[in-house]
Structure formats: C-alpha cells, structure tokens
Structure 1
C-alpha cells in the first residue's frame, strides 16, 4: 500500500487504510506504538497492549504537565 505524507494543521500525517485497521481491530482513538527501525529504514506501527493502557491517571497527568512545561527543551534535545 502506498500512502502519501501530508500536513493537517500543525501535524504531518499518514492516513492508514481502513482494511488494514480492520485487520488489526483498530479504529479512531485507539492507541498505537510507533517505532523506527533505522537499519531497515522502516516505521513500525503496532497496537498498544491493553496492559500498557492501565497507567495510573495521576502519573499520566504528571507526565503530561512535565512535557507541557519542558516542551521547548525536550524538542531541542530531540533535534540533537
């Protein structure tokens, strides 16, 4: 399947084919893991295990607040 990368708002996105999502039992709003395989020059998108979604809500809130507060520094580090 060939897909095109495009911009929507401030994001760069790739649409996923409905049949591929159906085969994996995924839909809008589901969580996925995105990993880069540099050796093979591939992006691997995998369904997130339900066990990983059982994160304590307070911890998730703290992480989100940390990311929001330090976003410029984190983005600068990611560019290096």
Structure 2
C-alpha cells in the first residue's frame, strides 16, 4: 500500500511541476495563416483631382502685431481696462 501511495505522490508531484512550468501536453496546432497584405491604389493623377481649396482661417500679417488671425480679438478688447 505504501508503494502505491508513494508512486501516486510522485506522479502527482511531477504532473503539478510540469503544469506549473507551462508544459501541458502536445503543442497546439498552428493558427490561421496571416492575412495577405492589401495593396493600396496609387493616388489619382493631378488632372483628376479638383483644385485645392484652403481650409481654416486665412492669416494676414500686420506691421505692428505680426501675423493676426480673424478669430483674435481687437486690440481695444485685449487691453483689459474699461
């Protein structure tokens, strides 16, 4: 009886050690192959493109303040004094 119990303990110890180390039986089959690289279309030639329209505010330089955007407040509001 002792020999059977000892053999069972050894087998349990070995299987727990292998499981803790990450060895859990035969390797899994490989996953699906990677998807093939998609080919991007080249950009259309210049003749097919429309004219480029500016997006965003226009910038206009002034001699006193440098570049001023249309969204900036006037100098009278920026002073802070009533």
TM bucket, shorter chain: under 0.3
Larger strand share, 1 or 2? 1
TM-score of the superposed pair, with normalisation by structure 1: 0.21
TM-score of the superposed pair, with normalisation by structure 2: 0.21
Please tell me whether Structure 1 or Structure 2 has the larger radius of gyration of its CA atoms: 2
Q: RCO (CA 8 Å, sep 6+): is it higher in 1 or 2?
A: 1
